[in-house]
Amino acid sequence: MHADHDASAPAAETIGFDDFLKVDIRVGTVVAAEPFPEARKPALKLTIDFGPVIGRRRSSAQVTENHTSEDLVGRQVMAVVNFPPRQIGPMMSEVLTLGFPDAEGKVVLIGPVMPVPDGGRLF
């Protein structure tokens, strides 16, 4: 876990609203979650459906401490969809799935508290 993810870290530097708008965070439904044994750190390979415009995208997520493949399928999560794809071992990760650290610093994925249409943008 990065030091800036720690709950005791100060707020990041001030940015303009236009900077925030550059980060495209969308909601999608996990349609597949598989083990990713080739990853350096324990991870799952996620396929997330962001609706008809963005479609399905893949993500490598280091979430194995708090999530299982079974509990993720069908769940809505949030992800940054406009970063360039990143090679993670043999897989191309196309989106950054978002979460918060638990008390031990392990990732807890975030999503809406009630169902919303896939592809909706965070505002």
Q: Domains along the chain? A: 3-109 (2.40.50.140)
CB 75 within 8 A of CB 29: yes
| % of the chain surpassing 70 pLDDT | 96
Model confidence over 86-106: pLDDT tens digits?
Answer: 999 899 999 999 999 999 999
CB 72 within 8 A of CB 59: no
Q: Residue 1's pLDDT is what?
A: 46
Q: What is the mean pLDDT of the chain?
A: 93
Inform me whether the pLDDT recorded for 31 exceeds 90: yes
Choose among 69, 79, 81: nearest CA to 110: 79
- Which residue would you say has higher pLDDT here, 2 or 12? 12
- Burial of residue 75 (CB within 10 Å: 0-12, 13-18, 19+) is middle
Model confidence over 41-69: pLDDT tens digits?
Answer: 889 999 999 999 999 999 999 999 999 99
Q: Residue 71's pLDDT is what?
A: 95
CB 96 within 8 A of CB 82: no
What sign has the CA pseudo-torsion 73, 39, 97, 82?
Answer: negative
